[in-house]
Amino acid sequence: MNNHSEWDSPGAGAANSGLELEGIVAALRRTRERWRDAQQRPREVGARELPSPEVLRGIVAGLRGALFPMRLGPADLRQESEDYYVGHTLDSVLGTLLSQVKLELLHLRRQAARGALPAEPHPRLLDEIAQQAQAIVRDFAHTLPRLRELLDSDVMAAFHGDPAALSVDEVLLCYPGIQAMIHHRLAHELHRLGVPLLARMVAELAHGETGIDIHPGATIGPGFFMDHGTGIVIGETARIGASVRLYQAVTLGAKRFELDEHGHLQKGGTRHPVVEDDVVVYAGATILGRVTIGRGSTIGGNVWLTHSVAAGSHITQARTRDEGRPHADAA
């Protein structure tokens, strides 16, 4: 029996094409090895080193179906079979998620060891990673009912906030903002539980499909509505309260980035806005830095804002004066 995969030896399909593939393959190998040496990566890992975007795509699809079985599950599903489908799906996708969590945890250990970890880690370390991964997946699974409740509040916010929405089903099936929030609610829990790479990969699946870029570290309260949504950017340390509405092309970003003594960007630090409850931010507005947008405020379209505003403020371009700073009109 042949135990080799189809990738174990180069194919002969282009052998006579004049492409000199052997030389190209060798040059690419040397380039990979230089990169791995510079990053202090082991030359021989033996198996896949990092989680797979394709596998994560399947996991998210399964979780979407388990959260909304009669809307995002299989087309032939009937209500009398919902529990069976949800149980079977969760058993499958959570088992697959477990394998991906193990990969990330081992990768994090390799990064922390900076090349000191052998290609084949000690069985005791693998057992420790397996136990940690099981705890993460168990805790993640227990968050799913709460995430469904949060997503229900997001769907209702979109339905009540958009006069064009004819039903909650239309919102769930068609609105890119809801698709992005399903991904974000899942990704945020993974980020919170200590697997930031998996979380970022889940977030980027939605980013690529919807044009909405939400870092999984961002904290977002219930009843969140992104109207149209395309081009919205929400940074890692942003905190958004309940019943907040953002329109397309809004940015909640950082004002500046601190550098270390070598001129490199310092990682971490709270650098994104706090948006309190019941705030509306209209299309194209940019809010930068660790500023607070007070409860019940309205930020007009295309406003550039780098300072905090009190609760009930109304900020518009027309009121930009005083050295370029918009005035806050108390409601």
Mean pLDDT of 65-69: 98
Token pair for 6: 């189809």
Q: What is the DSSP letter of 317?
A: G
CA–chain centroid gap for 197, Å, is 9
Burial class (CB in 10 A: 0-12, 13-18, 19+), 252: buried
265 falls in which pLDDT band (50, 70, 90)?
confident
pLDDT of 324 strictly over 80: no
CATH topology of domain 232-331: UDP N-Acetylglucosamine Acyltransferase; domain 1 (2.160.10)
pLDDT at residue 44, as a whole number: 57
β-bridge pairing 239-240 and 274-275: parallel
Mean pLDDT of 13-23: 70
CB neighbourhood size of 251 (10 A): 21
Domain layout of the chain by residue ranges: 24-212, 232-331
More confident residue, 149 or 111: 149
Cα–Cα distance for residue pair 293/328, rounded to 1 Å = 11
Segment 110-145, tens digit of pLDDT: 888 775 666 677 889 999 999 999 999 999 999 999
pLDDT of 328 strictly over 50: no
pLDDT of 259 strictly over 90: no
| Phi, then psi, of 309 in degrees rounded to 5 | -130, 150
Mean pLDDT of 29-57: 81
Q: What is the DSSP letter of 329?
A: E
Residue type, 217: G
DSSP H/E element including 220: strand 219-220
Question: Which among 91, 101, 98 is positioned nearest to 62, based on CA atoms?
Answer: 91
Average pLDDT of the residues of the chain: 89
What CATH number belongs to 24-212?
1.10.3130.10
Question: Which among 158, 175, 242 is positioned nearest to 211, based on CA atoms?
Answer: 175
pLDDT at residue 7, as a whole number: 55
Is 298 in a helix, a strand, or coil? Answer: strand
Tell me, yes or no, if the two domains 24-212 and 232-331 fold the same way. no
262 falls in which pLDDT band (50, 70, 90)?
confident
- Residue environment code for 110-149, b if the CB has 16+ CB neighbours within 10 A, otherwise e: beeeeeebeeebeeeeeeebeeebeebbeebbebbeebee
Mean pLDDT of 55-62: 98
Is 287 in a helix, a strand, or coil? Answer: strand
Identify whether the C-beta of residue 180 lies closer than 8 Å to the C-beta of residue 229: yes
Token pair for 250: 């809004």
pTM for the whole structure = 0.86
Mean pLDDT of 212-238: 98
pLDDT of 48 strictly over 60: yes
pLDDT of 4 strictly over 80: no
Question: Which among 201, 262, 275, 278 is positioned nearest to 235, based on CA atoms?
Answer: 275
Identify whether the C-beta of residue 254 lies closer than 8 Å to the C-beta of residue 287: no
Cα–Cα distance for residue pair 326/22, rounded to 1 Å = 63
260 falls in which pLDDT band (50, 70, 90)?
confident
pLDDT at residue 42, as a whole number: 65
Residue type, 122: H
Identify whether the C-beta of residue 294 lies closer than 8 Å to the C-beta of residue 308: yes
